[in-house]
């Protein structure tokens, strides 16, 4: 009896082993298919972990939203990669004999996955579909500057990242090669082909049903990367600025009017100061409390404020597009439009030239380091286009204190005060000053202290926070600064936002003329933890002055009192409308003959193709 049981178990075991060996090719095909499919959606899921729900069917649908099996904003891996299904179908149908077919797909699949990473990073960071032509221009002109700022002369991290990327490419290529060969050589081809063809039903249905959805491609339950590749190769409508809109003549009409009273004017862009800080549930209360407290302090010393939101042309980066849109009154959605505008229209009638025509001395402050990484031609073109009388750059600011970040480390308080003090020593004319802060730049390093006497910042030679550094941090520029990122991302971000207001508070109390006007603007959303992607393009804009009659001009167009504006229920303006909005309000209050000039609520934009 025991012998019979033993024989039965042996035969069963051998049968299971034979069954496993017979099924192994099919299991291998299934496993490789699942692995490659997951790799397609891994970047999107990884970049939005804080907003992800594990299973899509657990989502609660909003009114009017597409069902989860068609499209969803949730980042999850339960999706189908269309090209992978199509390539598999081709291999099963044709079963090509030539070895170069699996070789072709072993290169194509990792290239499509690389594009998917590029696409998802662009969407998460900028909140916009990428354009290859535009990003290639950025790659040539901006990336070397950024890498020099972050790494200095130590490129070991770039080399390491490059080697890791090459290893990842080769690994995915090997998996794709094995997958293609497995499909070509699999036994029982008809059964596998039948299963693959049955997949055509959900693939085609999801593709057709999803075509009419307004949801972006990355939300769809089926992902066709080739469609995104095709759309990214199209240059956006009107990228080349060949014909400026007729509205440019309205800007020129502003130059015919004169101010009778000429207060100093400061346009200060706060880096990464977006509406997210007023909407994010983990930041909103602290932000509102700080803004309301500061407003009460300013009210006590005579400074009044009105605020609103303004829609930036960008979401999580490319600050030069945001502030140039505001200065020029012209919407710059990508770097190609910016290049055309700067290169072709050096006599463009923007806000800086308007103030110069009014008899102002115009000054720009830019504390970012490594200017030599930009080409001399680009700097000359920018200088010619903006036309400032004085441009204080990193090398012309004699800061001697501790460097607080990888972007040059000059405190915003120091750069602003030095530029104003130096400009006043050179001219008695009223001043128009433009500056974009550096302290608000991602990843939001701990900012400098705000001192009553900004000159004393030169005397701080060591980190005032005395953060201990290990040997790696002391030996490498990147880790030297990364070691200071001790607090959570939102905590660091709010610290830098508050620093920028405290810095302005100190300046207004001690240095500003009592007639001065401040325009404090956010350039774009903070680009981390989904804070750019999950919010719209709106950024706060504050007008601060002692002249309540001037502020009343802004109240007429939906600005509200104070430094805090509710993030819902408001009527935001546009960054490209700020030039005409501000100049017409200024002329209405201080212009000769009280001119009633028209402003352009939508600003100027590249003409649409007919």
> Tens of pLDDT along 59-95?
666 655 677 778 887 778 888 898 998 888 888 888 8
Would residue 597 count as lying in a domain? no
- Give yes or no for a contact between 113 and 170, defined as CB atoms under 8 angstroms apart: no
pLDDT digits 0-9 by tens, 292-344: 999 999 999 989 999 999 988 888 778 888 999 999 888 888 888 888 888 88
Q: Are residues 227 and 319 in the same domain?
A: no
Q: Please, what is the Cα angle at 338 between 332 and 339, to 5 degrees?
A: 160
Ramachandran sector of residue 387 (left: φ over 0; alpha: ψ -120 to 50; beta: rest):
left
The count of other CB atoms within 10 Å of the CB of residue 609 is 6
Calculate what percentage of the chain has a pLDDT beyond 90.
Answer: 25
| Burial group, residue 2, by CB count within 10 angstroms (0-12, 13-18, 19+) | exposed
Predicted pLDDT at 362: 93
Would residue 469 count as lying in a domain? yes
Q: Are residues 156 and 278 in the same domain?
A: no
* Most confident segment among 129-138, 217-226, 529-538: 217-226
Q: Are residues 419 and 552 in the same domain?
A: yes
Predicted pLDDT at 20: 45
Q: Are residues 266 and 218 in the same domain?
A: no
Q: Please, what is the Cα angle at 144 between 142 and 148, to 5 degrees?
A: 120
**Given pLDDT bands bounded at 50, 70 and 90, which one contains residue 28?**
confident
Predicted pLDDT at 435: 93
Q: Which residue has the higher pLDDT, 22 or 113?
A: 113
Predicted pLDDT at 485: 74
Would residue 243 count as lying in a domain? no
Q: Which residue has the higher pLDDT, 415 or 281?
A: 415
- Domain encompassing residue 280: 261-590
Q: Are residues 320 and 220 in the same domain?
A: no
pLDDT tops 70 at residue 375: no
The count of other CB atoms within 10 Å of the CB of residue 238 is 17
Predicted pLDDT at 157: 64
Angle between helices 100-126 and 225-233 (to 10 degrees): 70
- CA torsion sign for 535, 524, 602, 578 is positive
pLDDT tops 50 at residue 406: yes
Predicted pLDDT at 542: 95
Q: Are residues 227 and 305 in the same domain?
A: no
pLDDT tops 60 at residue 12: no
Predicted pLDDT at 27: 81
Predicted pLDDT at 506: 93
Report the range of poorest mean pLDDT among 9-13, 544-548, 580-584: 9-13
Q: Are residues 165 and 270 in the same domain?
A: no
Predicted pLDDT at 372: 47
Would residue 596 count as lying in a domain? no
pLDDT tops 70 at residue 140: no
- Give yes or no for a contact between 152 and 480, defined as CB atoms under 8 angstroms apart: no
The count of other CB atoms within 10 Å of the CB of residue 20 is 10
Domains of the chain: total: 2
pLDDT tops 70 at residue 607: no
- What pTM value is reported for the model? 0.78
Would residue 1 count as lying in a domain? no
CATH of the domain at 511: 3.40.720.10
Would residue 521 count as lying in a domain? yes
Predicted pLDDT at 610: 42
Peptide bond into 443 cis (omega under 30): yes
Q: Are residues 296 and 400 in the same domain?
A: yes
pLDDT digits 0-9 by tens, 224-273: 998 888 888 876 655 556 656 666 778 888 888 888 889 999 999 999 89
Would residue 600 count as lying in a domain? no
pLDDT digits 0-9 by tens, 517-572: 999 999 888 886 555 556 778 899 999 999 999 999 898 888 899 988 888 877 88
Q: Are residues 219 and 320 in the same domain?
A: no
Pairing of strands 304-311, 560-561: antiparallel
* Helix, strand, coil abundance in the chain, percent, nearest 5: 55, 10, 40
Average pLDDT over residues 287-294: 93
pLDDT tops 50 at residue 373: no
Predicted pLDDT at 8: 56
Q: Are residues 47 and 179 in the same domain?
A: yes
Would residue 524 count as lying in a domain? yes
Q: Are residues 425 and 574 in the same domain?
A: yes
Average pLDDT over residues 187-199: 79
For residue 286, the Cα-to-chain-centroid distance in whole angstroms is 24
Mean pLDDT of the chain: 82
């Amino acid at each position: 009896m025991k012998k019979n049981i033993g024989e039965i178990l042996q035969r069963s075991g051998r049968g299971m082993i034979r069954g496993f060996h017979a099924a192994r090719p099919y299991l291998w095909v299934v496993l490789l298919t699942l692995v490659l499919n997951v790799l397609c959606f891994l970047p999107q899921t990884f970049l939005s972990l804080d907003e992800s729900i594990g299973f899509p069917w657990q989502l609660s649908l909003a009114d009017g939203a597409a069902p989860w099996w068609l499209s969803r904003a949730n980042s999850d891996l339960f999706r189908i990669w269309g090209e992978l299904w199509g390539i598999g179908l081709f291999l099963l149908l044709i079963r090509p004999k030539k070895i170069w077919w699996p070789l072709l797909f072993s290169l194509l699949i990792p290239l499509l996955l690389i594009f998917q990473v590029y696409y998802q990073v662009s969407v998460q960071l900028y909140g916009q579909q990428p354009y290859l032509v535009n990003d290639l221009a950025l790659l040539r002109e901006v990336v070397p500057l950024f890498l020099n700022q972050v790494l200095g002369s130590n490129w070991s991290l770039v080399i390491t990242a490059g080697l890791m990327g090459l290893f990842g490419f080769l690994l995915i290529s090997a998996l794709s090669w094995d997958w293609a060969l497995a499909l070509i050589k699999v036994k029982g081809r008809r059964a596998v082909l039948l299963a693959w063809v049955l997949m055509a039903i959900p693939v085609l249905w999801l593709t057709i049903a999803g075509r009419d959805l307004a949801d972006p491609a990355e939300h769809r339950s089926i992902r066709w990367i080739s469609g995104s590749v095709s759309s990214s190769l199209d240059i956006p409508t009107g990228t080349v600025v060949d014909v400026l809109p007729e509205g440019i003549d309205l800007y020129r009409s502003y130059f015919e009017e004169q101010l009778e009273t000429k207060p100093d004017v400061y346009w200060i862009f706060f880096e990464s100061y977006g509406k997210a800080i007023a909407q994010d549930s983990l930041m909103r209360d602290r932000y509102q409390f700080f803004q309301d407290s500061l407003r009460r302090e300013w009210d006590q010393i005579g400074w009044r404020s009105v605020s609103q939101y303004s829609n930036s042309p960008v979401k999580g980066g490319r600050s030069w597009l945001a502030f140039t849109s505001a200065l020029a009154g012209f919407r710059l959605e990508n770097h190609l439009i910016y290049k055309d505008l700067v290169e072709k229209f050096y006599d463009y009638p923007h806000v800086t030239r308007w103030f110069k025509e009014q008899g102002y001395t115009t000054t720009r402050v830019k504390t970012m380091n490594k200017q030599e990484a930009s080409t001399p031609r680009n700097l000359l073109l920018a200088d010619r286009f903006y036309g400032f009388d004085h441009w204080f750059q990193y090398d012309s600011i004699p800061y001697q204190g501790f460097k607080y970040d990888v972007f040059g480390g000059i405190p915003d308080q120091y750069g602003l005060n030095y530029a104003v003090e130096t400009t006043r020593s050179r001219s008695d004319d009223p001043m128009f000053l433009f500056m974009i802060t550096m302290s608000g730049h991602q990843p939001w390093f701990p900012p400098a202290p705000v001192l009553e006497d900004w000159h004393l910042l030169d005397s701080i030679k060591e980190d005032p926070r005395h953060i201990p550094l290990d040997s790696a941090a002391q030996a490498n520029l990147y880790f030297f600064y990364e070691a200071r990122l001790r607090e959570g991302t939102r905590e660091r971000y709010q610290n830098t936002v508050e620093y920028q207001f405290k810095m302005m508070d100190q300046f207004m109390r001690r240095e500003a003329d009592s007639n001065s006007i401040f325009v404090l603007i956010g350039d774009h959303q903070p680009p981390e933890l989904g804070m750019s992607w999950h919010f719209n393009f709106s950024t706060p804009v504050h007008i601060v002055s002692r002249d309540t009659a001037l502020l009343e001009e802004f109240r007429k167009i939906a600005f509200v009192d104070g430094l805090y504006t509710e993030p819902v229920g408001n009527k935001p303006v546009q960054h490209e409308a700020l030039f005409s909005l501000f100049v017409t309000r200024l002329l209405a209050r201080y212009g000769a003959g009280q001119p009633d000039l028209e402003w352009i609520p939508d600003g100027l934009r590249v003409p649409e193709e007919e």
